[in-house]
Structure 1
Amino acid sequence: MARTISVAALQTSYGEDMTANINKTAGLVRQAASKGAQVILPSELFQGPYFCVSQEEHWFATAYPWREHPAVIAMAEVAKELGVAIPVSIFEREGPHYYNSLVMLDADGSPLGVYRKSHIPDGPGYQEKYYFRPGDTGFKVWSTRFGKVGVGICWDQWFPETARAMALLGADVLMYPTAIGSEPHDADLDTAEPWRRAMQGHAVSNVIPVVAANRIGHEQVTPQGQDFYGHSFIADHRGDLVESFGAEDEGALVHSFDLDHVDRYRAAWGFFRDRRTDLYGALASARPS
């Protein structure tokens, strides 16, 4: 019998009411599960608005230890009820430290552990270094009931090293919860297509399906506000978009993959056979000139 996995990406808007956001996400998880999805990806920090658009200390009060986070507790109940796995993106507090984190819930609702975002951006509209320490967990691949799932968080998705590391750890599929949209310093800059192409490239180079879930809508965290461009998608192991949303769609994208076929296709291309680790020292030591 062939190994298969059915994955989903959720796309919606969020407000400041954490309970309402969690309930909205749970409803979309149910929608995805009703379509046969087994591993269901909500977007980044769905607990509330994307607060990192500015530096406001009151947002630190919305972080929780990962085992006690309301989103984790609620999604664990949903995962157990529906028999699905859910990567849950949260604002985590560990003692005096704060992280942008991901808790992987298996299909029985049990947590498989935590991943802390490795790459932390710092720029107009994405001032995450004010809130989050760089992750200290290393990259993670989770052995869920349905397959091995590697998850990076938003800015991680732009780095080919993240995808390659998770592929080398044995991932069957890569997932990226995201919160990205307008650039406050340049109203004409639209990164939606480069954002997609970067991850489609990871799919091609690692011969692996990629799932990205972004939020939509206008959020008035600052007087200027910020618009999130959606365009969530699922790409296959060739990098082709097999499911996709636009800038305003709300719902769940679902697609199934034959993992045995993907494994054969990956072996045939030889990307991992022909790696030259003896030449890659510059990846860890070189600095841009």
Structure 2
Amino acid sequence: MKRFAVAGIQMPVSAFEENITQMNRYLAHVRHRFPWVDMVMFSELAAFGPSPAKAEEMPGAAEARLCEMAAKYGLWLIPGSLFERRDGAIYNTAPVIDPAGNVVARFRKLFPFRPYEQGIAAGSEFVVFDVPDAGRFGISICYDMWFPETTRTLVAMGAEVILHPTMTDTIDRDIELSIVRASAATNQVYFFDINGVGDGGVGRSIVVDPAGYVLHEAGPGTAEIIPVEIDFEKVRRERERGLRGLGQPLKSFRDREVEFPVYQRNSGADAYLHTLGKLVKPGVLEDAPQAEVTGPAGE
């Protein structure tokens, strides 16, 4: 089995100009300085910043430019995400681009950060993809990971690494660091959570291994390149023998004797949730129209 390395890029993101030119410079730098890296991953909405007004169709000009960059440097590229215009709606979409410059998958964010991220449609499909002679990767975006079912589903589909571009510019980043570590441990998976800086977030990107150990936590507010080599044998060994030789949560989940009626919409098990009122911003009347997001979209 070949070794495989991912470089997360905690990059300054501008909401007022394109950032693809800067992304290209990072790819060139990674290829020159870290020639052993196989994949480069950017933060959520890195290419144009958090403005749905810049949404494009896919395939489109921006995605084609990113494909050319991946092929030029011979790298797998996860360019964070871009707003995608599709069938009259706007999605927050992460393309997966192979080293030949082909788009092998597109993942659409399942949980827009509502009620703050208005006007963005939710995706409905999970995405995993295989890197030959390495392993299987799953994609989620930012607020998706607050719902543990998203990571659990990707892992149940065979994902050994979760690639998670995020754009968190809020005071709950410390909570997200805990979620990443818990998600990695309970699912026995590598977790790459890459945030931006500037208009793209507060930084503090984090990479956690399948035993829950933090491999790196980036600093706040500064640019950083985070190259990490993945040990797929470690994932498979820990899933077989147990996390740190102890719990085997995936096999325990598989062999469970309990079902979860809360996930069956008509079971009545979620009755309490329907007493919580509408999903609106605090201080906004429930019947008032919600404004479309044109600036930072949050998580």
TM range (shorter): 0.7 to 0.9
Which residue in 1 is equivalent to 2:204? 231
Q: Is residue 119 of structure 2 the alignment partner of residue 131 of structure 1?
A: yes
Q: Name the SS of the counterpart of 1:246 in structure 2.
A: coil
* Deviation (angstroms), 1:105: 0.5
Distance 2:135 2:71 in 1: 17
Distance 2:186 2:27 in 1: 30
- The answer to whether the 8 A contact 2:5-2:229 is kept is yes
Distance 2:71 2:83 in 1: 22
Which residue in 2 is equivalent to 1:86? 77
Distance 1:154 1:196 in 2: 12
* Deviation (angstroms), 1:153: 0.6
Which entry has the higher C-alpha Rg, 1 or 2? 2
- Show the 5 A alignment for 1:222-261: 228-261=201-234
Paired positions, count: 258
Q: 2:22 aligns with which of 21, 24, 34?
A: 24
Distance 1:257 1:32 in 2: 17
Q: 2:110 aligns with which of 104, 118, 136?
A: 118
- Show the 5 A alignment for 1:37-48: 37-48=37-48
- The answer to whether the 8 A contact 2:141-2:164 is kept is yes
Answer with 144-153 or 251-260: which moved more. 144-153
Distance 2:48 2:137 in 1: 25
* Deviation (angstroms), 1:277: 5.2
Which residue in 2 is equivalent to 1:161? 149
Calculate the TM-score normalised by the size of structure 2: 0.80
Calculate the TM-score normalised by the size of structure 1: 0.83
Answer with 233-242 or 32-41: which moved more. 32-41
Q: Name the SS of the counterpart of 1:101 in structure 2.
A: strand
Distance 2:262 2:128 in 1: 22
Which residue in 2 is equivalent to 1:208? 189
Distance 2:111 2:203 in 1: 21
Distance 2:20 2:82 in 1: 11
Distance 1:131 1:147 in 2: 35
Distance 1:174 1:252 in 2: 18
Which residue in 1 is equivalent to 2:87? 95
Is there any run of 5+ residues in structure 2 with no aligned partner, and where? Answer: 243-247, 273-299
Q: Name the SS of the counterpart of 1:274 in structure 2.
A: helix
Q: CA RMSD of the aligned region, Å? A: 1.9
* Residues 156 and 288 of structure 1, relative CA distance in 2, 3 Å threshold: farther
- The answer to whether the 8 A contact 2:130-2:136 is kept is yes
What one-letter code is carried by the residue in structure 2 that aligns with 1:273?
Answer: K
Distance 1:12 1:249 in 2: 8
What one-letter code is carried by the residue in structure 2 that aligns with 1:9?
Answer: G
* 1:75-112 deviations in Å (ceiling 9; x for gaps): 21121122211123110011311111111111211101
Which residue in 2 is equivalent to 1:172? 160
- The answer to whether the 8 A contact 1:3-1:260 is kept is no
Distance 1:95 1:119 in 2: 19
What one-letter code is carried by the residue in structure 2 that aligns with 1:76?
Answer: C
Distance 2:46 2:164 in 1: 13
- The answer to whether the 8 A contact 2:211-2:238 is kept is no
Percent of matched pairs sharing the same residue:
22
Distance 1:42 1:283 in 2: 35
Q: Is residue 178 of structure 2 the alignment partner of residue 197 of structure 1?
A: yes
* 1:111-162 deviations in Å (ceiling 9; x for gaps): 0121111112224xxx22x2211103x1110113443211101101212111
- The answer to whether the 8 A contact 1:8-1:211 is kept is no
Distance 1:131 1:69 in 2: 23
Runs of 4+ in structure 1 off by over 3 angstroms are: 16-19
Q: Is residue 270 of structure 2 the alignment partner of residue 271 of structure 1?
A: no
* 1:237-281 deviations in Å (ceiling 9; x for gaps): 112211221112213101102211220111112322222455233
* 1:17-64 deviations in Å (ceiling 9; x for gaps): 544x0011122223333312212110111122323xxxxxxx43x111
